[in-house]
Amino acid sequence: MTSTVPRRDTTGSADLGALFAPRGIAVVGASRSPGKLGATLARSLAGFAARGGHLALVNGRDATMHPSVRAAAEAGPVDLAMICVPAPACPEVLAEAAAAGAGAAVVCGGGFAEAGGPGVGYQEKLAAVVAETGIRLLGPNTSGFLAPHAGVTASFVPGVAQVRPGRVAVVAASGGVNHALAFLLTEAGHGVSLAVGLGNGVDVSAPDVLDHLAATLDTDPDTGAVALHVESVADGPRLVAAVRRLAARRPVVALVVGRHDVGAFAASHTGALATSWRTTRAALAQAGAVLVGDERELVDAVGALSVTRARPARAAGVGVVTAQAGPGLLLLDDLRGRGARVPELAAATQEALGGLLPPLTFQRNPVDTGRPGPELGRVFRAVAEDPEVDVVAGYALHEPDAVDLVAAAGEGRVDDVPVVLGLGGTGDEVVRARRALLDAGIAVAGDPRGVAAGVGALLTDARVRARRADPVVPRQVPTGVAGAYDEHAAKGLLDRLGIPTAPRRACASRAEAHAALTALTALGGPVAVKILDAAVLHKTEIGGVHLGIADAAGLDEALDRLDAIGARRYLVERMAPAGVDLVLGARRDPVFGPIVLLGLGGTTAEALADVAIRLAPLGPGEAAEMPAELAGHALLDGWRGGPVLDPDALGRVASALGDLLVANPGLAEIEVNPLRLTAGGLVALDAVVIPREASDAQPDQ
Amino acid sequence: MTSTVPRRDTTGSADLGALFAPRGIAVVGASRSPGKLGATLARSLAGFAARGGHLALVNGRDATMHPSVRAAAEAGPVDLAMICVPAPACPEVLAEAAAAGAGAAVVCGGGFAEAGGPGVGYQEKLAAVVAETGIRLLGPNTSGFLAPHAGVTASFVPGVAQVRPGRVAVVAASGGVNHALAFLLTEAGHGVSLAVGLGNGVDVSAPDVLDHLAATLDTDPDTGAVALHVESVADGPRLVAAVRRLAARRPVVALVVGRHDVGAFAASHTGALATSWRTTRAALAQAGAVLVGDERELVDAVGALSVTRARPARAAGVGVVTAQAGPGLLLLDDLRGRGARVPELAAATQEALGGLLPPLTFQRNPVDTGRPGPELGRVFRAVAEDPEVDVVAGYALHEPDAVDLVAAAGEGRVDDVPVVLGLGGTGDEVVRARRALLDAGIAVAGDPRGVAAGVGALLTDARVRARRADPVVPRQVPTGVAGAYDEHAAKGLLDRLGIPTAPRRACASRAEAHAALTALTALGGPVAVKILDAAVLHKTEIGGVHLGIADAAGLDEALDRLDAIGARRYLVERMAPAGVDLVLGARRDPVFGPIVLLGLGGTTAEALADVAIRLAPLGPGEAAEMPAELAGHALLDGWRGGPVLDPDALGRVASALGDLLVANPGLAEIEVNPLRLTAGGLVALDAVVIPREASDAQPDQ
């Protein structure tokens, strides 16, 4: 639960310097009893003091320590106060720290909003002190942060001293996950530039830290890639903007929790989830982040991207080199599952490989080297030089007698063609070899799945960067949409957006309906006859739709039935040919604002929640990528001789629908259902426009 | 590619003793040049010699070595020959080894069937020597095997000496994967009882090794759990039988390669994939194996199951205890994704926890301890004693100042309630703590995902064992099914199997059709009228189906149209009510024999290949588990007020269809499509019977 106290605009980031690069740190509530938070924290910060930082222990009841932050500040600079006192006392200590000139503070303990009861009040008081004084506050309810380059391991978890300085930044919703990730990164051979757990996030939030990282790039420490862990999102547009800014300069890899029902526990820990897991992932992906499914893949992905990146490419090709066929097959299977392209190598490449490898191995891609020897470096190079190869993925067991893998990988390097190498083995020698590969700019993993995850991240990153070059063309859209729309009027909106509809006529009388029948059947084929009434949202359910009307008798029968359910106006429309039905809609997400959703028609797709989501506005190029994300996308690709979707045509329609929603604050939702894919292209067969309640109708942003 | 030379029946297993527990080993083609296979292998086996095993180096061109296997056998017992000579020379050396009394041999090198060309012939010659002499042969084209308890690291990969003796057995299709798994298990703190890479599998196959493991259980070394890696299956029923035998006594965890298109490379490495990934997984699961998706999950799952198991239970409950809320949320999310039940703890449990934990933490399940202290052991115990909890899952960062996790986990143990614990941290102290937990019978992982994978494996294992208790009731089924069946005859088979169909009449004339109309509409509602012709498989496509016929005029019009497409007989059938359509079929898999398949109707389900598979025969209890495996199973559970499937009713139908196929060698396939779920239960709306080609019609088994 986040506080309701008004927040300062903290889009600027330089003011987190006091927090993450302090000259001096006061530990308030320091203790000499081992096991106490204050004692552990003081011990964790010993490295900071050893590097010449001013570390001041504050405890009014311990004569060997400073009696107050003010006293500590008199002994040396205190930019950061680590507050280790019980929750009720924290607001006062925070105010004292601000008064003593500290620019930032961390409250590690719990017992605030996450605990409910009086804790909510303590948290509100903290927020009030922040608002009054301008001090930056990390927490409460976080295990702190690590800035190993500065020796600041501001955490009560003792093992953090083993987290090395490095190039990966961690921005985690939870202090526990921040630490878990820092340890996993360490195990994988990586170091950390900054690792932050936000806890209750009463002041310093994910966007703040992302902006701080963006502002400190190319300085010391530089950040090569960012791991972002998201539990709930307070301000969707702000998070998206911060990710977009940072992702334009460094890869951001995001893990979003809450795919499944984690209900009450999540609410107790992070506050209510106002938006969906899918929407949050879609928003972050659109902002340029690489999305992953679990914490291991997060480590594989951010680790690889912190070391190397591929050139921008919509569908980069992967060359696979394996010293053992079996692990190579696991790797290939996994890469295929990620949609990676593993193209057959060019004839010239295969010829070169033929000169290097025994004829008994597979050399088309994957390249199976058999037991590797000194030629391995040249094999890597031949594959990397193939015109279809943008990324090299490799796997080998550690066999130093047969080949020096580190040397071979170095020898095989080609500019702009990154390598992700799996090195199977155990023991110190293997750990050293993996570190040497990382130091040489080669991403490394311990198993085929880790290689595939790293390669998958490089491919997504390459695609995101290729997409970024897409021009967005402004579009004229109808404005002033508000109030009730019947189907004819809704389709009129679609017509103005350039979204194809079938020829139709709105009819106020039976005579007009008969005239429409004559005119429309003259175009060929029968018509559909429907009730036309803005108040009726579910026409089919009440018998308001009659299909396949070919003659006057049929029309009269249909009109009789429509009259019987109270129809005053009719829509007569030429029937569209058979095809595959889609559902395309635009609506407002409570956290992220306007979004566009695409799914397949039918209950099966609905039951599977098979839907692609984007924030609006979005360009047609990006919208064109939506169909490929559907699990059932094979249905759109000429399934059983059916029609083939032109993704660009779909992209134009989806982009236009999003633009319409953005341009019309009075519009809550518009849904085209079905949007039919026919041999002749897309046709909107029905459309529903839902106006926003007057009280909600405010412009977005 | 496997050889076509006839094989001995090797279902017995004691005869692999020469291979896996040799008294003496001859390395043929040994070398003193570092980097050569023969040199590396001799070094790997130094430990065997150090333990008093007879290790004999054989090389006719090195005067310091034995000139032949016979000479080596004169110096001491030679049960096993490790053959490190080029492929063309291998058959002769193998024959020599057999003649010298060796009971087993390993050919590590490649250049056999996997390489094509003359290699195919070399492999056939190896098979011939095996058939003539009875020597057991592992390989060719494998990196060997590890039996660390006996000091036999019969592998040319040097790091294998670091693989410790332990309780996990590895049976891998590929030598490379065997080693990769052995190393990953070592990194996870586990040891190995036996680790085998089968390579080309010309003689010793997965069923052989599984049977060997079953025969040596409860001896030294015992095997706690088995990791099975499958690339292709030569003899489906034999593999299934071996897995079933072993899984009845120890957990078998299986990883099947080839989910995605791995085409040409797989064929080159393993031979053609005659069956599907899904069918292979289904067959192994049915035999009692726990299926996993990748090599990491394999290690997590088999590692946990080698240490501990849950009581048999169809839907075991998981109690989650976490010292940090954020990782606990990742764990809960992952467990939910695996379908785990995380029940709210009983009031008494919550009361007990209330006395142990501060009121500000979540205690319903998950149990968030806040920063843990000495009470953690009692928290574990309280959760484990909850009547709904069968497995405890935990996560904590390594904080030895706050709590001794090993002691706490030990204190919290409750008989028959296994614990899987994630311990986050890095460094030697953490490694030691993880090992101590394993030694105490507590499964351990380094991250939430590893915990979830371990728990998931325990739950599946518990479900498999609960299922095993199901009685299978023999069923009377029609026999002698052969030749062509029209729809009426096919439905007659269904009637005899007790599968519900709609009231219908086969009509040889229009007069009979009119009589049928009268009789069937008297039951209420309209009828369907269809062409009745065994030669017509796709009635709808040729206009052979007319629905909703309610009166004589409508019937005449339908009959006119059927006559126009050449109908001589008609089927008049009462229309079934609306509902959800399923597709249920039984057919013959080329590798595994009779199988039953269940899917949802409609193109979306088909495009998603959303299908549940079982081998036939199968009991109704097991068949009843099929619908829950469908991705779209929500449609069968009262979707939008629709009908609710009784899984037992579906189980009876699926089981009966499987029995029919098994009992009728003349039947190639029977498909009920659609099998409609209505408010009144299941109804078979159409059925197709496909006879087997006369030449194929032989009994199964």
Is the CB of A366 inside 8 Å of chain B's CB atoms?
yes
- pLDDT score recorded for residue B696: 55
Element at A670 (helix H, strand E): strand A667-678
List, by residue range, all CATH 3.40.50.261 domains of chain B: 14-305, 311-468
Q: Which of B32, B163, B426 to mutate to test the interface with A (most CBs of A within 10 A)?
A: B426
The values of phi and psi at residue B218, to 5°, are 65, 5
Shortest distance between the Cα of A221 and any Cα of chain B, in A, equals 23
Percent of chain B with pLDDT over 90: 80
d(CA B502, CA B495): 10
B543: how many CB neighbours lie within 10 A of its CB?
12
Is the CB of A248 inside 8 Å of chain B's CB atoms?
no
d(CA A174, CA A138): 12
- What is the three-class DSSP state of A348? helix
Chain CA centroid to CA B502, Å: 38
Per-residue pLDDT for B12 more than 70? no
**B362, A634: Cβ pair inside 8 Å?**
no
**B330, A366: Cβ pair inside 8 Å?**
no
Q: Give me the amino acid identity at A599.
A: G
Q: Give me the amino acid identity at A523.
A: L
B443: how many CB neighbours lie within 10 A of its CB?
28
- What is the three-class DSSP state of A618? coil
- pLDDT score recorded for residue A270: 57
Cβ contacts (< 8 Å) between A325 and chain B: which residues?
114, 174, 176, 265, 268-269
Cβ contacts (< 8 Å) between B37 and chain A: which residues?
371
From the list A40, A397, A602, the residue facing B176 with the nearest CB is: A397
d(CA A279, CA B438): 40
Shortest distance between the Cα of B226 and any Cα of chain A, in A, equals 18
A486: how many CB neighbours lie within 10 A of its CB?
21
Chain A CA closest to residue B118: A360
Question: CA-based angle B42:B44:B47, to the nearest 5?
Answer: 100
Strands B136-138 and B104-107, by their bridges, are: parallel
Q: Give me the amino acid identity at B290.
A: V
d(CA A391, CA A462): 10
- What is the three-class DSSP state of A684? strand
The values of phi and psi at residue B110, to 5°, are -100, -165
- What is the three-class DSSP state of A639? helix
Cβ contacts (< 8 Å) between B608 and chain A: which residues?
604, 608, 631-632
d(CA A250, CA A263): 34
Name residue, tokens 């897991």. A277
B54: how many CB neighbours lie within 10 A of its CB?
18
- What is the three-class DSSP state of A376? helix
Residue-wise DSSP of B362-397 = --SSSEE-SS--TTHHHHHHHHHTSTT-SEEEEEEE
Is the CB of B173 inside 8 Å of chain A's CB atoms?
yes
Strands A570-574 and A527-531, by their bridges, are: antiparallel
d(CA B584, CA B672): 5
Is the CB of A44 inside 8 Å of chain B's CB atoms?
no
Instruction: Name the strands in the sheet holding A545-549, side by side, starting at the edge strand that comes first in the sequence.
Output: A504-507, A570-574, A527-531, A545-549
DSSP state of A160: G
What's the Cα-to-Cα distance from A141 to each of A94, A201, B274, rounded to whole Å? Answer: 15, 9, 56
- pLDDT score recorded for residue A6: 35
The values of phi and psi at residue B26, to 5°, are -105, 125
CATH 3.40.50.261, applies to B14-305: yes
The values of phi and psi at residue A94, to 5°, are -65, -45
Cβ contacts (< 8 Å) between A370 and chain B: which residues?
110
**B326, A162: Cβ pair inside 8 Å?**
no
B180: how many CB neighbours lie within 10 A of its CB?
30
From the list A179, A366, A604, the residue facing B602 with the nearest CB is: A604
Shortest distance between the Cα of A327 and any Cα of chain B, in A, equals 5
Cβ contacts (< 8 Å) between B39 and chain A: which residues?
401
Instruction: Name the strands in the sheet holding A443-445, side by side, starting at the edge strand that comes first in the sequence.
Output: A367-368, A318-322, A391-397, A419-424, A443-445
Is the CB of B260 inside 8 Å of chain A's CB atoms?
yes
Per-residue pLDDT for B693 more than 80? no
Cβ contacts (< 8 Å) between B350 and chain A: which residues?
none
**A330, B631: Cβ pair inside 8 Å?**
no
Asked if A505 and A522 touch (Cβ cutoff 8 Å), the reply is no
Cβ contacts (< 8 Å) between A600 and chain B: which residues?
604
Per-residue pLDDT for B267 more than 80? no
Is the CB of B397 inside 8 Å of chain A's CB atoms?
yes
Q: Which of B171, B262, B677 to mutate to test the interface with A (most CBs of A within 10 A)?
A: B262
Cβ contacts (< 8 Å) between A115 and chain B: which residues?
359-361
CATH code, residues B311-468 = 3.40.50.261
From the list B159, B260, B401, the residue facing A40 with the nearest CB is: B401
Chain B CA closest to residue A327: B177
List, by residue range, all CATH 3.30.1490.20 domains of chain A: 503-574
From the list B174, B364, B640, the residue facing A326 with the nearest CB is: B174
CATH 1.10.3720.10, applies to A580-696: no
| CB proximity list for A451: less than 8 A, separation 6 or greater | A331, A393, A394, A395, A420, A421, A422, A445
- pLDDT score recorded for residue A701: 38
**B111, A360: Cβ pair inside 8 Å?**
yes
Please report which confidence band the pLDDT of residue B469 belongs to, taking 50, 70 and 90 as the band edges. Answer: low
Residues 52-111 of B with CB under 8 A from A: 110-111
Name residue, tokens 């909107």. A684
| SS3 of chain B: helix, strand, coil, percent, to 5 | 40, 20, 40
Residues 566-605 of A with CB under 8 A from B: 580, 600, 602-605
Please report which confidence band the pLDDT of residue B598 belongs to, taking 50, 70 and 90 as the band edges. Answer: very high
Cβ contacts (< 8 Å) between A635 and chain B: which residues?
603-604, 607
Is the CB of B547 inside 8 Å of chain A's CB atoms?
no
Closest CA to A130 of A94, A84, A96, A99: A94
- pLDDT score recorded for residue B680: 94
Shortest distance between the Cα of B362 and any Cα of chain A, in A, equals 7
Is the CB of B175 inside 8 Å of chain A's CB atoms?
yes
Shortest distance between the Cα of A490 and any Cα of chain B, in A, equals 27
**Dihedral angle sign, alpha carbons of residues B306, B143, B116, A451:** positive
CATH fold group of domain A309-468? Rossmann fold (3.40.50)
pLDDT profile of chain A (701 residues), mean per 10: 36 71 94 82 89 94 94 96 95 97 93 88 96 96 91 86 94 96 97 96 96 92 96 95 97 94 70 76 97 98 97 96 95 96 97 90 91 92 98 95 91 96 95 96 97 98 85 82 91 96 96 97 94 90 94 96 96 95 96 96 85 94 94 92 95 96 94 96 95 60 38
Percent of chain B with pLDDT over 70: 95
d(CA B604, CA A681): 20
Closest CA to B410 of B435, B386, B442: B442
Asked if A452 and A301 touch (Cβ cutoff 8 Å), the reply is no
The per-residue pLDDT for range B273-293, each reduced to its tens digit, is 567 899 999 999 999 999 999
Q: Where are the alpha helices (DSSP H) in B253-389?
A: 263-270, 277-286, 295-307, 325-337, 347-356, 376-384
Closest CA to B18 of B77, B84, B83: B77
The per-residue pLDDT for range B35-44, each reduced to its tens digit, is 788 888 888 8
Cβ contacts (< 8 Å) between A114 and chain B: which residues?
325, 360
Is the CB of A631 inside 8 Å of chain B's CB atoms?
yes
Q: Where are the alpha helices (DSSP H) in B61-194?
A: 69-75, 90-99, 118-133, 175-187
- pLDDT score recorded for residue A91: 97
Q: Environment class of residue B572 by beta-carbon count within 10 Å: exposed (0-12), middle (13-18) or buried (19+)? A: buried
- pLDDT score recorded for residue A98: 97
Chain B CA closest to residue A113: B360
Q: Which CATH architecture has domain A503-574?
A: 2-Layer Sandwich (3.30)
Shortest distance between the Cα of A9 and any Cα of chain B, in A, equals 27
Chain B CA closest to residue A603: B635
- pLDDT score recorded for residue A273: 53
**A157, B327: Cβ pair inside 8 Å?**
no
Shortest distance between the Cα of B157 and any Cα of chain A, in A, equals 6
Packing angle between helix B263-270 and helix A325-337, nearest 10 degrees?
A: 160
| CB proximity list for B682: less than 8 A, separation 6 or greater | B499, B500, B582, B645, B649, B650, B653, B675, B676
The values of phi and psi at residue B556, to 5°, are -60, -40
**B447, A180: Cβ pair inside 8 Å?**
yes
Q: Environment class of residue B447 by beta-carbon count within 10 Å: exposed (0-12), middle (13-18) or buried (19+)? A: buried
What's the Cα-to-Cα distance from A170 to each of A175, A190, A251, A550, B427, rounded to whole Å? Answer: 11, 12, 12, 65, 20
Is the CB of A162 inside 8 Å of chain B's CB atoms?
yes
| CB proximity list for A36: less than 8 A, separation 6 or greater | A84
As a whole number, the mean pLDDT across chain B is 92
Is the CB of B261 inside 8 Å of chain A's CB atoms?
yes
d(CA A33, CA A40): 9
CA dihedral A652, A655, A658, A662 (to 10 degrees): -110
Element at A465 (helix H, strand E): helix A448-468
Asked if B313 and B462 touch (Cβ cutoff 8 Å), the reply is yes
Taking one residue from A and the other from B, the number of pairs with CB-CB distance under 8 angstroms is 304
Q: Environment class of residue B609 by beta-carbon count within 10 Å: exposed (0-12), middle (13-18) or buried (19+)? A: exposed
Cβ contacts (< 8 Å) between B449 and chain A: which residues?
294-296
Residue-wise DSSP of B108-121 = ----SGGG-THHHH
